């Protein structure tokens, strides 16, 4: 399994705690211990260095693989030693962070000491520096929680979020290989590229396991369609903070009946007449108003002018990007972006990556959100 060849060390900008990722020889991809450890797939990354930076920016990411032909960059939670490097096309390679105990020396220190720490989570509730989600402290490091059949000494060694528990020193999951599929990522448009991969869906998920898994996924306890904004004008305005217990930055609402008929606004409406949009064309950010986190379930997006226009959607928890993806928008139909594993989110951002598009009567980077689904407390 460990056909690891050290090819080069990749030096990245100052401020990165480990200044290097190790890269494999070309011709390998990463096979994690379990497919749920694939956390993010980008489709338009130009270089392995940029893929490494995306990995670095995600506290959950420990390993990535990158295909310079398809420009696909996949981020994994699993450390390199928990998975396997498998042979594949020559254009693909694997990169990983070499972990050692010094990176976790602040474990259980007071939470103020690990704000913005790459390896530990500053938990303001316990007041301590904790291991990130899906890892446990093994006495020297935060290691990946283990799967069916692996050894353990207590429940937190096992992937408890998947109902895998430590029984007689072995991690034991629910009957048979029906991993609750955090992969029930459904989306309607072929232009959506989000944090999932077809291989995840096909492995173990029989129809029944997918069905039972979906029942555990919160979907849309808060549906927002922008038609009940208190004190809204009949034309357009700024969405007030506190609407739906969220704060809204650079977010406006607009009555689509007042917009040019050859723009994307009318295609973008879910419930007449209001939609949300970014009036300046710049970044749009939504945060929890009272600190309670939510799952970011789905959003329906349309471009106002440019076609196609790429939007990057990022979900954050405590300042770290935890999931997200990229969507290519049209001006003539809505594209649904959904995420069944964007949980514990406190902030969502939307921004355009400056894609080039044909213009209608204008050429701005405005986009339209017809509706948004979130679930507080998930
Ligand atoms: C964390 O530190 C606190 C305070 O020093 C201590 O009471 C607690 O037992 C420690 N927890 C662990 C898991 O080491
Ligand atoms: C939306 O705009 C149209 C056209 O100006 C107007 O007739 C309608 O009353 C507006 N709707 C609301 C809810 O204000
Ligand atoms: C918009 O968001 C992107 C990605 O987070 C960031 O790089 C950029 O600086 C932001 N732009 C503004 C104007 O805040
Ligand atoms: C924050 O708002 C959400 C949505 O209404 C609610 O479910 C949650 O209980 C609130 N949390 C607090 C701490 O008030
Ligand atoms: C729209 O603006 C972008 C960025 O300024 C530019 O690259 C693109 O060529 C413009 N589209 C058209 C059709 O002019
Ligand atoms: C976009 O279209 C308008 C109207 O057809 C035209 O005047 C304008 O020059 C175009 N913009 C660009 C950047 O080509």
Is 45 within 8 Å of 54 (Cβ atoms)?
A: yes
Is 279 within 8 Å of 366 (Cβ atoms)?
A: yes
- Cβ–ligand 4 distance for 376 under 6 Å, the answer yes
Distance from C-alpha of 343 to C-alpha of 346, rounded to nearest angstrom: 9
Is 130 within 8 Å of 120 (Cβ atoms)?
A: yes
Is 163 within 8 Å of 180 (Cβ atoms)?
A: yes
Count the Cβ atoms, other than its own, within 10 Å of residue 229. Answer: 18
Domains in the chain and their CATH numbers?
Answer: 9-98 (3.50.4.10), 102-174 (no CATH), 222-376 (2.60.120.1350)
- Cβ–ligand 3 distance for 161 under 6 Å, the answer no
Inter-CA distances, 21 with 50, 80, 250, 266, 321, Å: 12, 11, 36, 47, 19
Rounded to the nearest angstrom, the distance between the alpha carbon of 361 and the centre of ligand 6 is 6
pLDDT of residue 137: 96
Q: Which residue has the tokens 């009272």?
A: 290
Rg (CA), the chain: 22
Distance from C-alpha of 77 to C-alpha of 73, rounded to nearest angstrom: 14
Inter-CA distances, 95 with 15, 22, 217, 378, Å: 19, 5, 31, 32
- Cβ–ligand 4 distance for 378 under 6 Å, the answer no
Is 111 within 8 Å of 125 (Cβ atoms)?
A: no
Rounded to the nearest angstrom, the distance between the alpha carbon of 302 and the centre of ligand 2 is 21
**What residues are paired with 123 via a beta bridge?**
128
* Nearest ligand, CA 375: 4
pLDDT of residue 360: 59
* Nearest ligand, CA 374: 4
Count the Cβ atoms, other than its own, within 10 Å of residue 200. Answer: 23
Is 287 within 8 Å of 249 (Cβ atoms)?
A: yes
Rounded to the nearest angstrom, the distance between the alpha carbon of 356 and the centre of ligand 6 is 13
Inter-CA distances, 62 with 56, 171, 287, Å: 8, 22, 27
**What residues are paired with 335 via a beta bridge?**
301
Rounded to the nearest angstrom, the distance between the alpha carbon of 144 and the centre of ligand 6 is 53
Q: Strands 135-137, 170-172: parallel, antiparallel or unpaired by DSSP?
A: unpaired
Report helix, strand or coil for 212: helix
Distance from C-alpha of 328 to C-alpha of 187, rounded to nearest angstrom: 13
Distance from C-alpha of 346 to C-alpha of 317, rounded to nearest angstrom: 5
Task: Tell me the pLDDT of the chain (378 aa) as tens digits.
Answer: 333 323 233 333 333 344 478 888 899 999 998 888 988 888 888 888 889 988 988 889 999 999 999 999 999 999 998 988 888 899 999 999 988 899 999 999 999 999 888 999 888 888 999 999 899 999 999 999 999 888 899 999 999 888 889 988 889 887 533 333 333 232 222 222 223 222 222 222 222 222 223 333 456 899 999 999 999 999 999 999 999 999 999 999 999 999 998 899 999 999 999 999 999 999 999 999 999 999 888 899 999 988 888 888 888 888 877 777 777 888 888 888 877 667 889 999 999 876 665 655 577 899 999 999 999 988
- Cβ–ligand 4 distance for 245 under 6 Å, the answer yes
* Nearest ligand, CA 324: 3
Q: For 38-194, where are the E strands, in sequence order? A: 38-42, 63-67, 72-76, 84-87, 92-96, 121-123, 128-130, 135-137, 142-144, 165-167, 170-172, 192-194
Rounded to the nearest angstrom, the distance between the alpha carbon of 360 and the centre of ligand 6 is 7
pLDDT of residue 143: 95
Query: Which residues, including other chains, have CB under 8 Å from residue 158's CB and lie 6 or more apart?
Result: 145, 146, 147, 150, 152, 164, 165, 166, 171, 172
Q: For residue 80, with 0-12 CB atoms within 10 Å meaning exposed, 13-18 middle and 19 or more buried, which class applies? A: buried
């Amino acid at each position: 399994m460990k056909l690891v060849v050290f090819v080069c060390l990749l030096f990245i900008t100052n401020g990165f705690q480990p200044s290097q990722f190790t890269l494999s020889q070309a011709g390998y991809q990463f096979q994690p211990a379990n497919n749920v450890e694939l956390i993010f797939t980008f489709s338009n990354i130009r270089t392995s260095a940029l893929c490494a930076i995306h990995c670095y920016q995600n506290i959950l990411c420990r390993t990535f693989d990158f295909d310079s032909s398809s420009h696909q960059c996949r981020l994994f939670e699993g450390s390199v030693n928990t998975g396997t490097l498998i042979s594949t096309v020559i254009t693909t390679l694997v990169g990983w962070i070499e972990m050692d105990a010094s990176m976790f020396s602040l474990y259980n220190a007071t939470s103020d000491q690990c704000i913005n720490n790459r390896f530990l989570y500053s938990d303001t509730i316990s007041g301590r520096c904790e291991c990130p989600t899906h890892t446990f402290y093994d006495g020297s490091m935060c290691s990946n929680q283990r799967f069916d059949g692996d050894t353990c000494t207590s429940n937190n060694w096992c992937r408890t979020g998947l109902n895998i528990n430590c029984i007689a020193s072995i991690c034991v999951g629910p009957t048979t290989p029906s991993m609750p599929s955090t992969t029930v990522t459904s989306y309607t448009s072929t232009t959506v590229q989000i944090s999932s991969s077809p291989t995840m869906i096909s492995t173990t998920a029989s129809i029944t396991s997918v069905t039972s898994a979906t029942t555990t996924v919160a979907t849309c306890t808060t549906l927002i369609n922008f038609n009940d904004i208190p004190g809204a004008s009949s034309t357009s305005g700024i969405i007030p903070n506190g609407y739906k217990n969220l704060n809204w930055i650079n977010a406006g609402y607009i009555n689509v009946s007042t917009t040019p008929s050859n723009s994307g606004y009318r295609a973008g409406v879910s419930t007449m007449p209001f939609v949300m949009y970014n009036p300046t064309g710049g970044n749009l950010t939504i945060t929890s108003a009272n600190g309670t986190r939510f799952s970011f379930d789905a959003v329906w997006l349309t471009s106002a002018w440019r076609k196609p226009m790429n939007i990057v959607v990022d979900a954050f928890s405590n300042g770290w990007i935890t999931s997200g993806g990229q969507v290519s928008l049209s001006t003539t139909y809505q594209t649904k972006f959904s995420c069944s594993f964007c949980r514990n989110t406190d902030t969502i951002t939307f921004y355009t990556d400056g894609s080039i598009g044909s213009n209608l009567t204008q050429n701005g980077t405005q986009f339209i959100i017809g509706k948004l689904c979130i679930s507080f407390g998930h």
